[in-house]
Chains A and B, each alone.
Chain A
Amino acid sequence: MSGIVISRRHILGMLGAGGAAAALSACGSSIGNDSSSGGGGETKSIKVGLVIPQAGVYAPLGVDMKQGWDLWLERHDGKFGDFTVTTVAADEGETPQTGVPATQRLLQSENCDVLVGIVNSATALGLRDLVTEAKKVLVVANAGAEDITAKGASPYIWRSSFANGQVSGAMGTYLAEENADDSVYVIASDYAAGDEALAGFTTAFEKGGGKIAGMAKPPFGKTQDYQPFLSKIKSSGAKATFCFFAGSEAVSFVKQYRQFGLADDIPLYGSGFLTEGGVLDAQGDAALDVQTSLHYTSALDTPANQEFAQAYQDKFDAVPTVYAVQTWDAANVLDRALKASGSADGDDLSKALGGLGEIDDSPRGPWSFENQTPKQKFYMRKVEKEGDGYVNTVVAETEPVGQGG
């Protein structure tokens, strides 16, 4: 240890290397005309920036998204229409602090023609001005904030995933139809997505004649023990519980709900992310009979999904998730749009995306863009055991609904 001698020259060399790395990408000027044209032209190639979380709490979603993307390209010769696709992946990280610079690099340094991905809603909203001014299309493949395609909409931002209130609203409508007399207790993580999910559910449920027995918002990312909340649910006299949790919070909530003895008396409902993907395995038996609404389940019995799920299983040895499907569909719509427009230009592409009509071959079932976000069917799903694993089987499905519908 003490033998290490480091001279000033070494250190300066180190810093110099860092500077050189920055300088490598540094040619040209930032003053004057800064529009740069990538792709397109004679060669008919398109460069896509895939911004997905590769580190941090959302990393598992990033893996699924990458796999969905890769699978689509592999099964379509790596082409969108006549365009050969080059994918540049970047790590979105957990927050806009990493997500925005990563996207900026893809746009300004890599000269990507199109952007796909984005899990964090704040990142998606924060990119609005960047992509709008660059006139590049961004297909949001997960982030669910209402504002992305409402108050904060941009003609260049399209969404292949969902809106938070849309997912829970479907459950609200369904529960009100099933049993409007029973009151429901609602609980969600205390942050923007949780608020939107609760609002979506409550509005739809009350519209159908349902009554809310009570509401709780445990602090987001800080709650380990849900017992105080579970006691409140028990004493509220509610006949059912609706919840919105994701990731590790979904695991602890579902497990504690079962351990507390509520699962048998007061059935648990939720937004589909509660029991989607890796969290379901972690919840295990505790999740049995939990019902959720989502625009996809791997158990969907359609030819398109069966083919997709089989291919996914064969290639990645995993059950596909909604996150994989959303990115698969992002590729799907870009393919269709490029066939229609024949040009990777942001304005042309945006226009073509708007004229796509129904996407009839998606694993999730038919859907279409309405206000640049999917109008799609929702499935009421129930967790059941299948062999060694768990699966969300379909109990019912809704008519296609759009955001806020």
Chain B
Amino acid sequence: MTDRVSWPPRGMLFGVAAALLLAAAPLFLAPYATTTLTRMLVFGLLAASLALLVGVTGLPSLGHAAYFGVGAYAAGWFAKNISAGAPLSLLVAAAAGGLVAAATGWVAVRARGVFFLVLTLAIGEIVHQAADRWDSVTGGSNGLYGIPATMFGGEPISNVGLLYWYVLLAFGIGLAVLWLVARSPYGTALRGIHDNEPRMRALGYPTSLYKYAVFVIAGTIAGLAGGLLATQQRLVTPEDLGFTTAALALLAVIIGGAGSLWGACLGAALVILVRDTLGPTLDGHGPLVLGLLFILVVYLMPCGIAGIRLRRGQRPAAGDSGGTGKPAPEPVSVGGGASR
């Protein structure tokens, strides 16, 4: 899950190894494990797009699942009614996520801190309500089901391994976009906004516009992740864009270490592992274990998974983020030490 990382040279090595391992996974994993891994990728991309908002820019969104869900519904509806051809539904999903983020983000990014949190929560609830009631398009609370398998070269991708590769490819592209944004001068400015917005404004940066743009980018990638959900699960329900999904994504980001894209992916993998693989076998105690695990992880690893390496490594390249006290943002975060 840690492909596209970039700490030279060891980081690069890790990244390449992780990417190879991920690519080879279906060759030695049983179908169910592959399915789980696919689900982790989908949720991981959602979490990574949220990490760009939360960790890099300092916009803690509780409504990010809205764009994920909009993408999922758009992809599902498109595949069902127009075409199930390979990349089309994903493009539609990303566009839909981006458009809705563009329509709602303008209001949201004007608020800060807890107000931003509440506004995004409200947006999420409104979109959730729309999904629940707009029966003719979304299927209401029964969900949008019967989404056809994605077609590639005239053949449906029904084998779980092939589906995994398809999802992995899209995941890689999505993560690359996020990573490039975070690494660019624009990303550096976002981190500046995170640390001290008034100062950035005083320096002449159009901070509202910058925040709006990153909101739309994150929404677009969340939409893409939603498209992958529709592709993989072939079912979209209002729960997919509900508060629980948004909160789980935020928890994945926090577990991963707020500013780290690959950390968010690992956090998402952990969430899926506990919720979907261990949870159902625990005789109804799944949610409890999930809750306990979160508390433990947050308590024991205040900087998240990404923080572990930094704390121990003491690498000079890690710059000013060697400290362990602060849970949130690491300027280094995205892809590690070399990011600025």
Q: Given that A23-B33, A104-B32, A192-B142 are known contacts, is A98 also in contact with B235, CB under 8 Å in the complex?
A: no
Across the interface, B28 reaches (CB within 8 A) one of A4, A29, A191, namely A29
Minimum CB–CB distance from A7 to chain B (whole Å) comes to 8
| Complex Cα spacing A260 to B42, Å | 50
Cβ of B132 under 8 Å from chain A: yes
Complex Cα distance A8/B161, Å? 33
Which 3 pairs, one residue from A and one from B, show the smallest C-beta to C-beta distance?
A54-B284, A126-B235, A108-B32
Distance of A195 from chain B, by nearest CB (Å) = 8
Residues B161 and A30 in contact, CB atoms below 8 Å apart: yes
A22 touches B36 (CB 8 A): yes
Q: Which of B39, B149, B283 contacts A91 (CB 8 A)?
A: B283
Q: B281 at the A/B interface (Cβ < 8 Å)?
A: yes
Residues of B within 8 A of A29 (CB): 26-30, 161
Contact B277 A133 (CB under 8 A): no
Q: Is the CB of A95 within 8 A of B282?
A: no
> What chain A residues lie within 8 Å of B234 (beta carbons)?
126, 129
> Which chain B residue shows the least CB distance to A54?
B284
A21-56, CB under 8 A of B: which get 1 and which 0? 111011111111010100000000000000000111
Q: A126-B143, A191-B140 in contact; A109/B280 too (CB < 8 A)?
A: no
For A, the interface residue count at a CB cutoff of 8 angstroms equals 57
Shortest Cβ distance from residue A26 to the other chain B in the assembled complex, whole angstroms: 4
The reply to whether B30 and A26 contact each other, CB–CB distance below 8 Å, is: yes
CA distance A168 to B78 in the complex (A): 35
> What's the Cα separation between A169 and B138 when bound, in Å?
26
Asked if A97 and B34 make an inter-chain contact with CB atoms under 8 angstroms apart, the answer reads no
Q: Judging by beta carbons under 8 Å apart, are B277 and A30 in contact?
A: no
In whole Å, how far is B311's beta carbon from the nearest beta carbon of chain A?
8
**Which of chain B's residues have a CB closer than 8 A to the CB of A272?**
none
Cα of A150 to Cα of B182 in the assembled complex, Å: 49
A97→B28 CA distance, assembly (Å):
26
In the assembled complex, B323 has its CB within 8 A of some CB on chain A: no
User: What number of B residues sit within 8 Å (CB to CB) of A?
Assistant: 60
B198 located at the interface, meaning its Cβ lies under 8 Å from any Cβ of chain A in the complex: no
- B160 on the A face (CB < 8 A): yes
Question: How far is A220 from B147 in the complex, measured between Cα atoms in Å?
Answer: 26
The residues of B with any CB-CB pair to A shorter than 8 Å are: 26-36, 39, 132-133, 135, 140-143, 145-147, 149, 158-162, 164, 233-235, 237, 239-240, 244-245, 270, 273, 275-288, 300-301, 305, 308-309, 311-312
Task: For residue A145, give the distance in angstroms from its CB to the closest CB of chain B.
Answer: 5
**A237 on the B face (CB < 8 A):** no
Given contacts A21-B277, A59-B284, A105-B277, contact A26 B33 (CB under 8 A): yes
Judging by beta carbons under 8 Å apart, are B237 and A97 in contact? yes
Q: A91-B282, A105-B277, A126-B145 are in contact. List 12 more A-B contacts (CB 8 A).
A: A15-B270, A22-B33, A29-B27, A30-B164, A55-B286, A98-B280, A104-B35, A108-B32, A122-B143, A125-B145, A126-B233, A145-B142
A101 to B149, CA, bound (A): 17
* Proximity bits, A68-106, B CB within 8 Å = 1, else 0: 000000000000000000000111110111101110110
CB distance from A219 to the nearest CB of B (A): 9
B283 neighbours in A (Cβ, 8 Å)? 54, 89, 91
Q: Are B233 and A100 in contact (CB under 8 A)?
A: yes
Q: Given A34-B159, A96-B237, A105-B280 in contact, is the A25-B32 Cβ separation under 8 Å?
A: yes
* Contact partner, B26, options A30, A62, A102, Cβ 8 Å: A30
A195 to B132 alpha-carbon distance, docked (Å): 12
Q: Is the beta-carbon distance between A102 and B276 smaller than 8 angstroms?
A: yes
Task: Output the least CB separation between B169 and chain A (Å).
Answer: 16
Say whether B287 contacts A55, CB under 8 Å: yes
Shortest CB-to-CB span from B130 to chain A, Å, is: 14
Question: Which among A28, A100, A122 has the greatest number of chain B C-beta atoms within 10 A?
Answer: A122
